[in-house]
């Protein structure tokens, strides 16, 4: 079993839809949770960063962490074609070594 599991998709939604992206993990030592966005043929860029459990909102993006269930989510409201990308969850413990999910490919159709 992988330490971090992420549905690879692809996921296709119409413009304006609410998108939910999810990851599960097995290591209870993880404390830091991140979402990266990666456009085609580019490097990943940090989108959201959360420490421990709870919610964090930034514009149309909301990150949720439920440590009791070992489950994290990224919600995108009012999705736009420019949101079309691969979304990678990543997490680490105190030592800082990042473990990535496989990435979910999202396509938002106009």
Binding site for other proteins (CB under 8 A): 6, 8, 31-32, 34, 36, 41-46, 49, 51, 88, 92, 94-98, 100-103
Closest distance to other proteins from the beta carbon of 73 (Å) = 18
Return the H-helix or E-strand segment holding 12: strand 11-14
Pair 67, 17: CB distance under 8 Å: no
In the complex with other proteins, the residue whose CB is nearer, 82 or 97, is 97
In the complex with other proteins, the residue whose CB is nearer, 15 or 27, is 27
Nearest to 82 by CA among 56, 46, 54, 108: 108
């Amino acid at each position: 079993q992988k330490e971090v599991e992420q549905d690879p998709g692809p996921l296709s939604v119409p413009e304006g839809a609410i998108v939910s992206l999810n990851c599960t993990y097995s290591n209870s030592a993880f404390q830091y949770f991140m979402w990266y966005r990666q456009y085609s043929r580019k490097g990943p860029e940090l989108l959201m960063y959360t420490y421990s459990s709870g919610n964090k909102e930034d514009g149309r993006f909301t990150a949720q962490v439920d440590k009791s269930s070992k489950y994290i989510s990224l919600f995108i409201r009012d999705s736009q074609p420019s949101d079309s990308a691969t979304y990678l969850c990543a997490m680490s413990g105190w030592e800082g070594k990042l473990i990535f999910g496989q990435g979910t490919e999202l396509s938002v159709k106009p």
